[in-house]
């Protein structure tokens, strides 16, 4: 694994989606790539498991911007359809409220806006104008905040940065998501629908900057999709592409440290064996990286940042088809502001939590026995702060079941024939995400984007970072973009 004159070498720490994407990109650049992961399977949060005859995706359940996946195949001169396929989801989401209101969120903006007008006090033209404004905000910020490093001064001299600077007053960075939504809409149901997008990066809409109101444009402007075979097929297809490009994967292999010589990263240590590489990419949570792999002192400012929220997930094998539900379903709390106050200030789960139900078997019926469904039931949860998760789970499970029964007019518990529960503690053990936070640091301040860890080490040459805990953030699209940014920085002078 030592470097040679003929071929440069690269080590990737972590076989999460960003690590696999970085491996593919480096292999396409001609590097000999080795990927190391402590788990015995790839994917990190984007993995899979079975409960009897039910198959579940472990983590992310929403798939948007599929072109970011396809781009990796095209980069390697492969046909994406030979590895990977997907279908558009309609409606993208179903929203349920305690008063019986049910709103279909179609990717067709006019149809969605009419749904809002039909079921709330807000007018369709207000929704359409709002979403057009978010599209403009997305176009202003995408080049600077999503597709390039915020920590490379050369990007601030570019044309795309100057264009973004001219539109800076439009991104509403100095007010919160909720304040903008509350000024725009008069109905609390509409406000909650658009406030919810703060949770896409584990943040609080009552604190997060209104720049994040551009997030719904990703769904309404580009669509919501479902990969054939479920979310884990994204991992499987990219894994196959990586292996076809010569990438080698080393599972059940814990990287003990990153080797340093003066101001340069020179390799890694596994099983007390030192392995030298030309480039090293860390796809592990940066909090973990500075506690276990690098000198902790240099990473203190990142370790001290507020963590994002986590999740409590009930994976249920349900022996009944629920025709009133879609792939993505949201059962809203009637106490939304209080729910976020309890979540971020008290580090607890509210008695009336908003519930997200993903039923992948709607699009992948092979995941469940005939006449049955796979339910991924998620509640926003605080990151670990010494909570008694056994007690939290017991209480929350009953609250969730009561709410589902009440809002869907069912008796869901009698249909549960398989169950697994994911707590923030288990999430931390499986993925090494510090304190079980899903997205690394939160985005609850105007400076959050600039405070995220850069994709290139500010301290050591040849060391780069990708994944949900670094720039530009968490979620499948941003993780893929982090790999793109990091590899472009790593190979700029090749």
Q: Are 137 and 211 in contact (CB under 8 A)?
A: yes
Instruction: For residue 71, report the phi and psi dihedrals to the nearest 5 degrees.
Output: -55, -35
Q: What is the mean pLDDT of residues 272-298?
A: 92
Q: What is the mean pLDDT of residues 122-135?
A: 97
Per-residue pLDDT of 21-50, as tens digits, reads 999 999 999 999 999 999 999 999 999 999
Fold classification of 309-431 is Guanine Nucleotide Dissociation Inhibitor; domain 2 (3.30.519)
Sequence ranges of the domains in the chain: 9-46+231-306+441-490, 125-218, 309-431
> Does residue 149 register a pLDDT over 70?
no
Question: What pLDDT shows up at residue 235?
Answer: 97
Instruction: For residue 42, report the phi and psi dihedrals to the nearest 5 degrees.
Output: -85, 175
Instruction: For residue 228, report the phi and psi dihedrals to the nearest 5 degrees.
Output: -60, 125
Fold classification of 9-46+231-306+441-490 is FAD/NAD(P)-binding domain (3.50.50)
Angstrom distances, CA of residue 11 to CA of 14, 244, 252, 463, 486? 10, 17, 15, 10, 13
Q: How many Cα atoms occupy the beta-carbon half-sphere of 459 within 13 Å?
A: 15
> Which among 393, 385, 402 is positioned nearest to 423, based on CA atoms?
393
Torsion-angle region of 254 (φ positive above 0: left; ψ -120 to 50: alpha; else: beta): beta
- Could you tell me the two tokens for 204? 């609080």
Contacts of 96 by beta carbon, 8 Å cutoff, 6+ apart: 102, 329, 330, 331, 332, 407, 408
> Does residue 4 register a pLDDT over 50?
no
Torsion-angle region of 449 (φ positive above 0: left; ψ -120 to 50: alpha; else: beta): alpha
Per-residue pLDDT of 350-402, as tens digits, reads 999 999 999 999 999 999 999 999 999 999 999 999 999 999 999 999 999 99
Q: What is the mean pLDDT of residues 168-174?
A: 72
> Does residue 156 register a pLDDT over 60?
no
Q: What is the mean pLDDT of residues 439-462?
A: 81
Per-residue pLDDT of 286-325, as tens digits, reads 999 999 999 877 877 777 787 899 999 999 999 999 999 9
> Does residue 10 register a pLDDT over 90?
yes
CA 185 to chain centre: 27
pLDDT greater at residue 310 or residue 170: 310
> Does residue 3 register a pLDDT over 60?
no
SS3 202: coil
Q: What is the mean pLDDT of residues 399-425?
A: 97
Helices first, then strands: H and E counts in the chain: 16, 19
Model pTM? 0.93
Q: How far apart are CA 254 and CA 247, in angstroms?
A: 18
Indicate the range of 3-7, 243-247, 384-388 predicted with least confidence: 3-7
Q: What is the mean pLDDT of residues 219-236?
A: 96
Helix axes of 67-75 and 17-28: crossing angle, nearest 10 degrees: 30
Q: What is the mean pLDDT of residues 407-411?
A: 96
Question: What pLDDT shows up at residue 2?
Answer: 46
> Does residue 215 register a pLDDT over 50?
yes
Secondary structure of 340-366 in HEC code, one letter for each residue: HHHHHCCCCCCCCCCEEEECHHHCCHH
Contacts of 323 by beta carbon, 8 Å cutoff, 6+ apart: none
Per-residue pLDDT of 465-488, as tens digits, reads 999 999 898 899 999 999 999 999
pLDDT greater at residue 278 or residue 147: 278
> Does residue 349 register a pLDDT over 90?
yes
> Does residue 150 register a pLDDT over 70?
no
- The band of 165, judged by pLDDT with boundaries at 50, 70 and 90, is low
């Amino acid at each position: 694994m030592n470097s040679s004159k003929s071929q440069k070498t690269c080590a990737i720490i972590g076989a999460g989606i960003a690590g696999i994407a970085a491996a593919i990109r480096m292999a396409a650049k001609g590097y000999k790539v080795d990927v190391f992961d402590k788990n015995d399977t790839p994917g990190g949060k984007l993995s899979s498991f079975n409960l009897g005859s039910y198959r579940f995706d472990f983590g992310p359940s929403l798939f948007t911007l599929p072109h970011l996946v396809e781009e990796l195949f095209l980069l390697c001169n492969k046909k994406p359809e030979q590895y990977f396929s997907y279908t558009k989801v309609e409606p993208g989401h179903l929203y349920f409220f305690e008063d019986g209101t049910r709103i279909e969120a179609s990717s067709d903006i006019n149809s969605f806006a009419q749904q809002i007008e039909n079921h709330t006090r807000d007018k369709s033209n207000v929704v359409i104008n709002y979403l057009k404004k978010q599209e403009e905000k997305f176009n202003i910020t995408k080049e600077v905040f999503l597709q390039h490093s915020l920590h490379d001064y050369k990007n601030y001299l570019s044309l795309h940065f100057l264009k973004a600077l001219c539109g800076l007053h439009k991104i509403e960075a100095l007010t919160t998501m909720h304040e903008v939504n509350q000024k725009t809409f008069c109905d609390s149901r509409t406000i909650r629908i658009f406030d919810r997008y703060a949770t896409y990066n584990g943040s609080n809409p009552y604190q997060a900057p209104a720049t994040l109101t551009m997030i719904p444009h990703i769904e309404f402007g580009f669509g919501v999709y479902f990969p054939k075979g479920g979310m884990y097929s994204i991992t499987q297809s990219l894994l196959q592409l990586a292996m076809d490009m010569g990438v080698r994967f080393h599972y059940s292999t814990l990287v003990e440290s990153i080797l340093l010589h003066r101001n340069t990263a020179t390799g890694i240590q596994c099983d007390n064996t030192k392995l030298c590489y030309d480039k090293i990419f860390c796809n592990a949570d940066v909090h973990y990286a500075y506690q276990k792999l690098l000198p902790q002192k240099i990473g203190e400012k990142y370790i001290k940042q507020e963590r994002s929220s986590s999740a409590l997930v009930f994976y249920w094998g349900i022996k009944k088809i629920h025709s009133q539900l879609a792939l993505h379903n949201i059962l809203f709390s009637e106490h939304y502001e209080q729910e976020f106050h309890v979540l971020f200030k008290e580090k607890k789960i509210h008695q009336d939590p908003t519930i997200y139900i993903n039923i992948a078997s709607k699009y992948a019926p092979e995941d469940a026995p005939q006449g049955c469904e796979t339910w991924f039931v998620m509640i926003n949860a605080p990151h670990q702060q010494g909570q008694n998760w056994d007690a939290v789970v017991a209480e929350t499970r009953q609250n969730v079941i009561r709410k589902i029964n009440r809002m869907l007019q069912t008796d869901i518990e009698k249909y549960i024939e398989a169950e697994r529960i994911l707590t923030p503690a288990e999430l931390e053990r499986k993925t090494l995400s510090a304190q079980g936070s899903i997205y690394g640091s939160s985005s609850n301040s105007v400076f959050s984007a600039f405070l995220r860890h850069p994709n290139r080490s500010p301290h050591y040459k040849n060391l780069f970072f990708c994944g949900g805990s670094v720039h530009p953030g968490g979620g499948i699209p941003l993780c893929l973009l982090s790999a793109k940014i990091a590899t472009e920085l790593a190979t700029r002078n090749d």
